[in-house]
Amino acid sequence: MLKLAHQYSASPSCTLSHYMYHGVGIPRNDDVFRIKRHNERVGLRAFSCSFPFPPSDAGRRRWCFCRYDAPPPPMASSSLVRIAVVGDVHGLWNLEEDRMALQLLQPHLVLFTGDFGEENVPLVQSVSLLPFPKAVILGNHDAWYTHDLSRQQNGVQMQLDVLGDEHVGYRRLDFPSLKLSIVGGRPFSHGGDQLFRKKLLVRRYGVVDMDSSAGRICSAVQGTPDDHLVVILAHNGPTGLGSQAEDVCGKDWDGEGGDHGDPDLEQAICQLKETTSLPIPLVVFGHMHKVLQSRKGSRKMVVEGSDKKTLYLNGAIVPRVKRTKVDDHCHDSLSGFMRNEKWKAAAESEGESTARAFTVVEILDGIVEKIAETWVHVDGSNARIVEEETLYLYRNVGGFQPGASV
C-alpha cells in the first residue's frame, strides 16, 4: 500500500529536500503512476532513492520514491544533440546517483539498451522515473521467466506497462525539438538466427519469423518527419558487422568466432536505406559485453558501416558501476578501478563512492562528431568525470555525411 510520508531528512547520499512515498514489498505499477501524476500536477519531477530504502527492518523489504524540484533537461542548442547511452544495466542502477551523473553530462536524450536484471520490475520502475527524455528497449534478461503473455500479471507486462511509450520495441518515438526519431528493434533479443521468446513476440507483436520482425521495424519508421534523423535502438546489433570474437557483435564463447548479430535488424536497415531517404547516422545496441568471455581483451564498441553513412555503437560496458569498496557485484573490477590514480584519490578522500559508465554521443548538424566512453564519479554531493575514452572522432576518419551519396 502506498503512503505519502511527511518530509523526512535527506538520505546520507542526497542533499535535496525530499518527500517520501514508502511501502513494503514490491512496489506496484499503480503506485509509480500515482506518484508520476501527483508530481506532474505540482510541477515536480520524481525519482527514487536507492532501492530498497530505507534499509530493510525486521526482514521486510521496504522501498520509497521521493520527489524534488529538478532543473529541466537542457534544450538543444543550435543543432547539437547529445545522447547518453546506458548500456546493459544488469542490476547496477541507482536513480539518485545516475541522475546526478546525467545532470553533469547534460544529455538531451538517454537511451537504455536493456537487460536491467532478471525481470527486475522495481529497477525498471525506478528507471521510468528518471527525469530526462529517454527511450528503452528490453533485452533477453528482461524476459527471463516469462515465456508468453498468457498470464495477466507477469514481469514482462509490468515492465512494458510502466515504461509505456518510452519502450520503443517495434515503435518510433519522435523528439521534434531535437529533429530526431528513435526507432526500436526487436525486444528480448538474445542474438543469432533464432527468435528468443517467440510466443511472446507472436502474441504481443504478431511477429512469427525474422522476415516479419524486419517488416515491423520498417513499419515503425513510416511517418517519420522528413527533417528528422533516425537513430535505431535495439538490444542486440545487426548481422554483417564481422565474425571475429572481438567484433562488435562477434560470438565470444563456445570456441569463439561467428557473427551473433540479429539478421532481422540488418535486413530492416538495408531495406530502409533502399526505400527511404531518411538519414540513419547511428544504431545503438548492447547485449554483447565489452569484456570478452575468454577475458582475452575487449570488444570493438564502435564500427562504421560499409556505406560510411551509419555508425554502429555497442554500449554494453558491464559492469557499468565500479565501487571503491568490495561488494558482491564489483569485486572483479575493483583492481582496475583502483589503478586509476584520480579514482584512488577520490576513494581515499570520500569513503565509498561509485564510478558509473555512460557512452556519450554528440551529433552536430546531423553528423556524429564524437563518441566517448565516459565514467562519472559520484559521491554524496557531487559528480565529476574521471575518465573519458574517445571511441570515435569525425575529423579523425575523414568524415561522412549521413544521407549524402558516396
Q: Do 216 and 205 form a contact (C-beta atoms < 8 A)?
A: yes
Q: How far is the CB of 138 from Zn ion (least distance, A)?
A: 10
Q: How far is the CB of 197 from Zn ion (least distance, A)?
A: 12
Q: How far is the CB of 278 from Zn ion (least distance, A)?
A: 27
Q: How far is the CB of 121 from Zn ion (least distance, A)?
A: 17
Contacts of 187 (CB under 8 A, 6+ apart): 114, 137, 138, 139, 142, 143, 167, 169, 170, 201, 235
Q: How far is the CB of 236 from Zn ion (least distance, A)?
A: 7
Pick the closer one to Zn ion by CB: 52 or 184.
Answer: 184
Sites of contact with Zn ion (CB under 5 A): 115, 139-140, 287
Q: How far is the CB of 235 from Zn ion (least distance, A)?
A: 6
Pick the closer one to Zn ion by CB: 36 or 197.
Answer: 197
SS3 label, residue 26 = coil
Q: How far is the CB of 311 from Zn ion (least distance, A)?
A: 21
State the residue number with the nearest CB to Zn ion. Answer: 287
> What is the DSSP annotation of 168-195?
-TT-EEEEGGGTEEEEE--TT--SSSS-
Pick the closer one to Zn ion by CB: 139 or 184.
Answer: 139
Pick the closer one to Zn ion by CB: 39 or 213.
Answer: 213
Pick the closer one to Zn ion by CB: 110 or 137.
Answer: 137
Q: How far is the CB of 140 from Zn ion (least distance, A)?
A: 4
Rg (CA), the chain: 21
Torsion angle defined by CA atoms of residues 214, 220, 225 and 231, in that order, rounded to the nearest 10 degrees: -60
Q: Which grid cell is 232? A: 535505431
Q: What is the largest CA-CA distance in the chain?
A: 66
Q: Which residues pair with 282 in a beta bridge?
A: 231, 311
Q: Cell numbers 539498451 correspond to what residue?
A: 113
Contacts of 399 (CB under 8 A, 6+ apart): 367
Contacts of 317 (CB under 8 A, 6+ apart): 87, 289, 290, 301, 357, 359, 373
Pick the closer one to Zn ion by CB: 45 or 260.
Answer: 260
Q: Among residues 219, 220, 200, 178, which one has the least CA distance to residue 80?
A: 178
Q: Give CA–CA dist 312/304, Å, rounded.
A: 6
What are residue 280's phi and psi, to 5 degrees? -120, 80
Pick the closer one to Zn ion by CB: 18 or 235.
Answer: 235
Torsion sign over Cα 329, 125, 110, 260: positive
Peptide bond just before 263 cis, omega within 30 deg: no
Pick the closer one to Zn ion by CB: 23 or 91.
Answer: 91
Q: Do 95 and 356 form a contact (C-beta atoms < 8 A)?
A: no
Q: How far is the CB of 243 from Zn ion (least distance, A)?
A: 19
Pick the closer one to Zn ion by CB: 126 or 140.
Answer: 140
